[in-house]
Amino acid sequence: MNRKIVIGNWKMNKDIRQSVECAEELLQSKYGLDTVNSTDIVLTPSFLALNEVKKVCAQRSGIYLGAQDVFYEPSGSYCGAISAAMLSEVCSYAFAGHSERRMYFGDTDEMVYRKVRACTDAGIVPIFCIGETGRAYSAGRTKAYLRYQIEHGLKDVRPCDMVVLYEPVWALGTGRTPRTDEVEEVMCFVKETLAGLYGPDRSAGQAAVRAVYAGSVCPENAAAYAALPHVDGVAVGTASLCAQKLAAIIHAVDRVD
């Protein structure tokens, strides 16, 4: 069985000091993270805060650093970009194709594929993001949308440690959430599609491909999503900005059998 995972994605929030304070608060004994033993915790602060947050998290095993994005070229004249190899000095994980990158920064399926490849080449676990738009959801085209994203985003990527993050775009930061039976049906479909690409062992739960749900996850709903048979964890945006809420979500996920 896969280890569960909770990803706290701070996005473009918190400066370096605030990021360190939030990580320090999360580790305070009052939140009892020492008792969490079957869940990996990944924090993705801004690039600037990665190093300092890593120092805080070094106090406890099972907490990993992740980058919110990565550029796919290994090096060169790409002003403002950060390569996977550079990130690998600090990070164990990196997002590839978060919907906000696709929406605001023009990430295409081809770019996302190259980002996934760059991560695997550099030994970073990619957090490969997929998710249908509100329009596709309303039109009943969720599965076709996701199949396209998976087949293009992973085309010739060899089986590897990976997180496949399902984030229905219409549920991000909106407080609107899909029903758990909808998420379970989609995650089952995602794992079947991965099995088609990689063979059943790579997606059936024995291997390192973890399927994670994101979209307005909060302490009240985290356990319901994490308990779904085809879900290996959750990614949290807004609620993760508060250490107390993030700790509650981590415990809720860890308690699920």
Binding test (CB under 6 A) with ligand PGA, winner from 124, 150, 211, 217: 217
Instruction: Give the x-and-dash track for 87-126 against ligand PGA (CB under 6 A).
Output: ----------------------------------------
User: Which residue out of 132, 167, 184, 230 is catalytically annotated?
Assistant: 167
Binding test (CB under 6 A) with ligand PGA, winner from 178, 215, 219, 233: 215
Name the minimum Å distance from CB 85 to ligand PGA.
25
Name the minimum Å distance from CB 73 to ligand PGA.
25
Tokens 């930061």, located at residue: 173
Query: Does residue 130 belong to the site contacting ligand PGA (CB under 6 A)?
Result: no
Name the minimum Å distance from CB 206 to ligand PGA.
26
Query: Does residue 173 belong to the site contacting ligand PGA (CB under 6 A)?
Result: yes
Please name every residue paired with 39 in a beta bridge, in sequence order, or none if there are none: 4
Q: Which residues contact 193 (CB under 8 A, 6 or more apart)?
A: 146, 147, 150, 151
Q: How far apart are CA 165 and CA 36, in angstroms?
A: 22
Note if 230 is an active site residue.
no
Stretch that binds ligand PGA, among 28-36, 73-81, 150-158, 215-223 (CB under 6 A): 215-223
Query: Does residue 216 belong to the site contacting ligand PGA (CB under 6 A)?
Result: yes
Q: How many residues bind ligand PGA (CB under 6 A)?
A: 13
Tokens 């308990």, located at residue: 227
- Judge contact between 222 and 175, C-beta under 8 A: no
Which residue has its beta carbon closest to ligand PGA? 237
Give the CA-trace dihedral at 84, 86, 87, 88, to 10 degrees: 90
Antiparallel, parallel or unpaired: β 162-166 and 93-96: unpaired
Write the burial class of residue 235 (CB in 10 Å: 0-12 exposed, 13-18 middle, 19+ buried). buried
Note if 152 is an active site residue.
no
Name the minimum Å distance from CB 130 to ligand PGA.
11
Tokens 């869940």, located at residue: 39
Which residue's CB is nearer to ligand PGA, number 122 or number 249? Answer: 249
Residue by residue, DSSP assigns 109-178 as HHHHHHHHHHHHHHTPEEEEEE---HHHHHTT-HHHHHHHHHHHHSTTPPS-SEEEEE--GGGTTTS---
Stretch that binds ligand PGA, among 48-56, 75-83, 86-94, 212-220 (CB under 6 A): 212-220
Question: What is the footprint of ligand PGA within residues 138-167 (CB under 6 A)?
Answer: 167
Q: Tally the C-alpha atoms within 13 A of residue 48's C-alpha that lie toward its C-beta.
A: 10
Binding test (CB under 6 A) with ligand PGA, winner from 44, 92, 120, 238: 238
For ligand PGA, the binding residues (CB under 6 A) are 9, 167, 172-173, 214-217, 235-239
Q: Catalytic positions, please? A: 98, 167
